[in-house]
Structure 1
Amino acid sequence: MLFLLRLRTWEFRQQRVIVRVPRPTRPEKARRVGFKSKQGFVIYRVRVRRGCRKKQVPKGATYGKPKNHGVNQLKHKRNLQAIAETRIGKRVAKALRVLGSYWVGQDSTFKFYEVICIDPHHKAIRRDPKVNWICDPVHKHRECRGLTSAGKKHRGLRGRGHGFAKTIGGSKSASWKRRNTLQLHRKR
């Protein structure tokens, strides 16, 4: 299995950043996300660079105080899977809606995801009562608003029940400690 994954990632690296694929690489995972092998469903594979995001600084001018001069080690608020979905959503915005995505491979530099898109104007989709909710205009650009599964994860909406909001940041004790620790920075 490891050899197969290594071979796949090598193959994915040779291709373009966004590639349309004829069938899912992981059919069982695709079906759990909501894929059906019928007309109107489209799958794209997308490559996302791992690690931190760089701040865009024209000519290296960051301006402001030294505290805000960082360029390289800035941690992105969204996870890489949500970023992959957004990039696909911008690419196919006119015709398709993003349903969800799943991981298919990674190496030291990139992560690869397959994103499931749906054509809301296709008759097969409009007639299917289990999927036709996505045809409603309110579901346009749901990936940009954090409404997919990956988007809800980075928004901290995965859990349920009383007190779940207090676990964001690792655990209840970690979030309590962060909220109750007074930090007096040298420059303030």
Structure 2
Amino acid sequence: MGAYKYIGELYKKKQSDVLRFLLRVRCWEYRQLNVIHRASRPSRPDKARRLGYKAKQGYVVYRIRVRRGNRKKPVPKGATFGKPVRQGVNHLKFQRSLRATAEERVGRRCGNLRVLNSYWINQDGVYKYYE
């Protein structure tokens, strides 16, 4: 088996001691960084290559964190108007995934580049991290 196969096997067992420790340390590191920042190399090279990344000029990797959880309706002091069925404020689910939101934010930040793909790299109680 090649190196990418071993890395893939490691990520299949996310509850293993090795990966739990690695993810915990990396999660702490990601929390200290900016919301969107450019990574020198992908943290999961096997996954990145499967999704189209190549280690050559013109391909860049950005790491982004997105706040987890539901979407709260932006209304003043919780005062909504209209029918009672539309008066929810807290338990609303955003129609797009957090991953799609992350891709959109990076695309807006880097207008001269195109988003090729993205994948999950980590999460904690508050954030999800994507590359």
TM-score normalized with structure 2 length: 0.81
- Deviation (angstroms), 1:80: 1.0
What CA distance in whole angstroms lies between the structure 2 residues aligned with 1:63 and 1:90?
32
- Deviation (angstroms), 1:59: 4.3
User: Does residue 121 of structure 2 align to residue 104 of structure 1?
Assistant: yes
Larger radius of gyration: 1
What CA distance in whole angstroms lies between the structure 2 residues aligned with 1:92 and 1:58?
33
What CA distance in whole angstroms lies between the structure 2 residues aligned with 1:25 and 1:77?
28
- Deviation (angstroms), 1:91: 1.1
Q: 1:91 aligns with which of 109, 115, 128?
A: 109
Q: 1:2 aligns with which of 15, 20, 23?
A: 20
What CA distance in whole angstroms lies between the structure 1 residues aligned with 2:75 and 2:106?
25
What CA distance in whole angstroms lies between the structure 1 residues aligned with 2:77 and 2:35?
27
Q: 2:130 aligns with which of 113, 122, 126?
A: 113
Give the share of equivalent positions with the same residue, in percent: 62
- Deviation (angstroms), 1:87: 0.9
> 1:61-72 maps to which residues of 2 (within 5 A)?
61-72=79-90
Give the match for residue 36 of structure 1: 54
Any unmatched runs of 5+ in structure 2? 1-18
- Deviation (angstroms), 1:77: 1.5
TM-score normalized with structure 1 length: 0.58
What CA distance in whole angstroms lies between the structure 2 residues aligned with 1:92 and 1:59?
35
Structure 1 runs of 4+ aligned residues shifted over 2 Å read: 58-61
More relative contact order, 1 or 2 (CA 8 Å, 6+ apart): 2
Secondary structure of the 1:104 match is: strand
- Deviation (angstroms), 1:58: 3.4
User: Between Structure 1 and Structure 2, how many residues are aligned?
Assistant: 113
Give the match for residue 78 of structure 1: 96
Any unmatched runs of 5+ in structure 1? 115-188
Give the match for residue 15 of structure 2: none
